[in-house]
Amino acid sequence: MAYETIVVEHEDHVATIKLNRPDALNALNSRLLGELTQALREADANDKVRCVILTGSSKAFAAGADIKEMSQKSFVDMYLSDFFGSEHDAIARVRKPIIAAVAGYALGGGCELAMMCDFIIAADTAKFGQPEINLGVIAGIGGTQRLTRLVGKAKSMDMHLTGRFMDAQEAERAGLVSRVVPAKNLMEEAQSAAQKIAERSMLTTMAVKEAVNRAEETSLAEGIRFERRLFHALFSTEDQKEGMAAFLEKREAQFRDR
Ligand code: HXC
C-alpha cells in the first residue's frame, strides 16, 4: 500500500517503518498515525515479518503530536474523537516486537511513541522530552505513566514539569533506552538486533513480550505466576525440544514456530 507520511521497507524478516514528514520533524498528525497503525497491523499479520523497527530521520524521530492540527480543537472534539486513543490501543496490541531506533528529537507524543515500542536504541544525537507543559497541556498518549515506570518519579516529574530534554547518555543511565550507539551506526545496530530476534521462535518471542509487559501491569506475585505458566506451556512446543536438543548436539537450532 502507498503511504504519504511513512515509508515501509522489508529486509529479510524485518519490516522497517520510517516516519516521513521531514518538513514538520515527523510531527504526528492523524494521517501519519492512521498510516502507522495500518502498517503495524499489516506487519503483525504478515507471516514473513518477525520483528519491526520504527524510526524517523537523523534530525527527529518525532517532535510530538502535530501542534498545528491540535491547536484549534475543543474539549468536545478531543473527547468525542477520543484523540489518539484508538491509535494508542492499536499499537499496544501489536504482538510482534517493535524496536524504536531514535535519532534526534523524540518529544511529547514522539517520546511516548518510542516508549510504546518494546525497547529503544538511541543514537548519540537523541533528545527525549515531554515539553507539553510549554503548550498548556500534559502528555496524552501515556507519557506520565510510561516515563515514570521507566525512569522513576524524580526524573519523570522533572521532565514533565520543566519540559527539559534528556540526552541519549542520560536516557541510557536512567533506563529509558537500552543502548546508545554512534548516529551513523543506528540503523545497522537496530537491524542486527531485529535479525537476532527474527531468528528465534516466534512462540518464545511473543511469550517474552507478553511476560515482560505484564510486569508493568500487575503485582510481582501475579507476574511471576503468569511467567511460570508461560514457561511451563512452552514445554508443549516443538521449538523447546529443538532448542534444547540443538544445544546438547552443539549445533544451531532450527525453529519452526511450532
Ligand atoms: C507541528 C512541528 C512540530 C510539532 C516541529 N514542527 N515540531 N509542527 N507540530 N510538534 C515544525 C515547525 O513548526 C517547523 O515548521 C518545522 O517543524 C521545523 O521546526 P523548527 O522549530 O523550525 O526546528 P528547530 O528550531 O530545529 O526546533 C526543533 C524543536 C522545535 C526543538 C523540536 O520544533 C519544537 O520545540 N517543536 C515542538 C516540540 C513539542 O512541543 N512537542 C510536543 C507536542 S504536544 P515550519 O513550517 O515553521 O518550517 C504532544 C502531545 C502528545 O506531543 C499527546 C497527544 C494526545
Express each pLDDT in 79-125 by its tens digit: 999 999 999 999 999 999 999 999 999 999 999 999 999 999 999 99
Determine the pLDDT at residue 248.
Answer: 98
CATH classification (class only), 6-198: alpha beta
The β-bridge partners of 122 are 102, 180
* 69 is annotated as an active-site residue: no
**CA-CA distance, 40 to 88, in Å (whole number)?**
12
The question of ipTM being above 0.90 is answered as yes
Determine the pLDDT at residue 109.
Answer: 98
pLDDT below 70 — which residues of the chain?
Answer: 1
Domains 6-198 and 200-249 share a fold: no
**Cα(66) to centroid(ligand 1), Å:** 7
CA-to-CA separations, 53 to 80, 90, 187, in angstroms, rounded:
32, 16, 9
What residue ranges do the domains of the chain occupy? 6-198, 200-249
Pocket around ligand 1 at a 6 A CB cut-off: 24-25, 27, 63-68, 83-84, 105, 107-109, 131-132, 135, 139-141
Decide yes or no: CATH 1.10.12.10 for domain 200-249. Answer: yes
- Which atom of ligand 1 lies at the shortest distance from residue 60's CA? 32
pTM summary value: 0.97
Ligand 1: residue whose CA is nearest its atom 29: 63
